Each structure stands twice: as structure tokens, then as C-alpha cells.
Chain A
């Protein structure tokens, strides 16, 4: 079941005008911002399907930029997000893509700062609910509704066990977990949805584990 809470239906509290095209877009942007872990210098938004056709009217553009600046759906700074981006020196661009993807409301976000770049694909499935489908070429499924840890690691035996053992040590319960890789024996990505927010100490411990290259988190 895609919707698990009554507040997915009665909610979110949001700045209008569209739950899928404004609030959902803001949430995808916000997840991208959390995973990038810093203010980007530039952002590129590739819009597909209904997003591409109607983004200006729905304020999808304003909401995406608001999201990557860290504004939540109910943040009243949202309507002025372009101005905030300019003040902060964050440049942004939009591309209307012709391709028909599986879901009508799809956006690919690319963020950059210095040499660092990140690419994320998200869909807005209705009522403000979103799913992240791809991160830097890894396929995944992430709701953005629960706290989560994302671990980039070498595709070696024992790595998954060492991460889950460490979480058990800190009494952190895993709600959902999946692993994906682009090629056998190369880089892999672990996505672990957990029940509570993860503190910096735990994050640091995970980073120190063998074969772990990078750890990021999404909090509530």
C-alpha cells in the first residue's frame, strides 16, 4: 500500500496551488538538498510529462527551487524562492523534456557545488507524496517520509552485515532496506529507512566502517 497514513490524505499543510506539482515538487527538492548536504551553487531541473507541460502555472519551478534551498511545503518563503536563490547566489535552470516516462510527474534534479555533483530522479505520485527513483544512476525507492540512511560502499561481502550490526549496536531499528549496484564488484548503494533520526555520532561510526565510502541521511 502506497499510502500508509491518514496525514497523507488530510495534509500536507502547504503553500498552494498544487499538492502534486507544488508540495510534491518542494519535497523532491528538499530530499535532494538533504542528500547533497550543503547549499548547491547551481541546480538544473529536467521536467517530464505533466510537470513539463504545466510547471509554470503550478509554481513547480518555484517549489523545486524552494526545496533545494531547504524550504518545506508550508514555508511561506516558498513564493519568493527565486529571489532567495538570487540573494544566496544559487543559479538554476529548467529543461522541458519530451520523453514519456512511466510516471506523468517526473523530475530529474542535478545539483552542483565546486567539483561535487549529484543527480536524483523523483516522482510526485499525488497528494504531496513523492518517491525518489534514482540517485547518481542507482535505482532505489525512497519515500522521503521516514528518516533514512544512504550508504555508498564498495560491492564487497560483509559490508551490509557490518552496517546493520553497527545499527543494532545503537539500537536502531530498520524499517525497510534495499541495495543496488550498477556493476558487480564496483560501487553499491544501501538505502535504509529507519524509525528515528540518526545522530552525528552514529553517522561518523558508519563512515569509519571498511568499504564504506560515503554516508548521508534524510531526517524527518
Chain B
């Protein structure tokens, strides 16, 4: 098993294989399962993601609290009717990322990537890049294996839990995973995938987990939106040949150490940051009653 990004990239280079293939082969070996079984399980995850994206950009979803829902759809409609400033590809990814998280907040069915709170970034970017690159279904499934490979390293060497490492561990990890996967789909090298992951994650370091009223809604939905846009920019930087001065594994390690020193009020307890603002507290009281702790 590859234990870090450097080992993953070296495996790819010595065997002359893409990241997705290394991930699939490792899964076959460790779990003694066939290529077909593994591939079709991932394809089912892709189907779940596609349904969540489509639901979020077409239906007026609404969470139980009423705090979120409908913004993915709103942005999608804005793009149809207006000349956008930041460009359709980025905004398409943003709207699909938000759509997924809005469905999640409404207790709809999603696929965690790597978590539910960060479930928008990977599918959001995937279904937007799809419009540009016209990948085969197989390439779309492979996108998920690349994301999974990089997420696997983060999960084992740092954390993918907001309660343990803050939002940098969730949306931060997802953004890096998506950036790496975009690079492979666009024809970049495994080393460029690692660079994209490093640059994307560097920009997310220190991001706290401060959900208003403890709900996976504010600011989670919009953090996924910006995560998706960051992933695309990081992929382009890597494809341009730009490199991170700090190697990917060291960025992941830095993320872990930052999470360790983050106070618990900023690690998914709903006690600090945006959750502790006057408006954040007011929302909490409206939703759970004024006696709520």
C-alpha cells in the first residue's frame, strides 16, 4: 500500500500507470476483489452523485431548519440568463457543489467525498468539467478513484474529520482531491496531480469548522462552493507547470499539525467562529428554542 503522496507518484512513474489505476489495483489486492466489482461499486457512487447534483440544480430543496436550499438552482439560472464574470465552467462547478450540499442538508441521499459536509466539491467539479472535456463514463469513474487515492493519504496521515481537524480536513481535503482528479482527466501527469493537491490544500490551511447551530449548512454549503472554484484554479496552475515549493506530503502534515493545535471551539462544536456571532446565535435560538445550550 502507498502510504504517502510521494510513494503514490513513484508507483505511477515506475509502472507508467495513472493514479486511478494504482488505486484500483491496490483495492483489488488488499480486499481480494475483482476489477469489475470495484469498478461497478464506484460507478454506483457516481450515479448517486449525479442524482444529487441534478436534484439540487432543478428542485427547490430546503433543509429542515430553513437555513439553506435553492442557491445551487439560483446560480444555475443566473448562468443561463446572464453573461457571467468568472466564467461558466467555474460557476457550473460551484452551482453543482452547492446543489449537492443543499441536498445533503435536506437529509437527501448523497455520497460522502470524503465526508458529507464536504460532499459537494468532488461531484461539483466532476460534472462541470464533464461539460468541457466530454469524458467517457469510465473516465468519470476514474476521476473518483483519483480523488479517493489522494483522500486516502490525507485520511491516514492527517484527518478528514472536522471534529478532529477543522474544515481544512473536510472541504480542504476535498478540494485537494478534486484538483488532483481534474488534472488526470485533463491529461496531466501524476506528479502534476500531486502539485495541484498541494496548492489547493495550502490555500485551505487553517480553515475552521464553525457550523451555525451545529448544522451542516452555514457556512458548509458556501465553503463547498469556494472549494470547487479553488480546485479548478489549482488544477490549471499545475497543468501550467507551476509547482508548490512545499511538497504535497509536507502540506498534508502541516494540515494535521494545525488541526491538532486548533481549539475545540473551532472543531465542529458550534461554539466559536461564525456559530458564535450574534446572528449565528440568533439562528440557533430560532431553530432549537432560546433555552438551547
Contacts and interface: CB of A to CB of B under 8 A. Distances in A.
Interface of A: 1-23, 49-50, 53-59, 74, 76, 78-79, 96, 104-105, 125-128, 195
Most buried by B among A17, A18, A21, A59: A17
B269 interface: yes
Contact of B148 (A9, A79, A128): A9
Contact of B108 (A16, A21, A58): A16
B21 to A, nearest CB: 12
A145 to B, nearest CB: 10
A2 B115 contact: no
Given A10-B148, A50-B268, A126-B159, 7 more contacts: A10-B112, A10-B145, A14-B111, A18-B117, A19-B117, A50-B269, A128-B116
Contact of A9 (B30, B103, B152, B216): B152
B144 interface: yes
Given A16-B107, A20-B162, A50-B163, A10 B144 contact: yes
Contacts, number: 178
B49 to A, nearest CB: 9
B111 A18 contact: no
B26 to A, nearest CB: 8
B271 A53 contact: yes
A79 B63 CA distance: 12
A13 B44 contact: yes
A3 B27 contact: no
A9 B114 contact: yes
A9 B145 CA distance: 10
B111 A12 contact: yes
For the complex of A and B, the 8 pairs showing the least CB-CB separation, nearest first, are A126-B161, A54-B214, A16-B104, A57-B214, A6-B148, A9-B151, A17-B216, A57-B215
B268 A16 contact: no
Contact of B109 (A6, A14, A53, A195): A14
B47 to A, nearest CB: 9
A18 B115 contact: yes
16 contacts: A1-B1, A2-B156, A6-B42, A6-B149, A16-B103, A17-B216, A17-B217, A19-B116, A22-B116, A57-B214, A58-B214, A74-B109, A96-B293, A104-B267, A125-B161, A126-B114
B34 to A, nearest CB: 15
Given A20-B162, A126-B160, A14 B116 contact: yes
A165 to B, nearest CB: 24
Given A2-B156, A20-B161, A76 B270 contact: no
Nearest to B26: A6
B50 to A, nearest CB: 12
B288 A17 contact: no
Contacts of B115: 18-20, 126-128
Contacts of B45: 7, 10-11, 13
Interface in B152-198: 152, 155-156, 159-164, 169, 177
B163 A49 contact: yes
A57 B211 contact: yes
B145 A6 contact: yes
A68 to B, nearest CB: 19
Given A1-B3, A17-B107, A58-B215, A53 B147 contact: no
A61 to B, nearest CB: 12
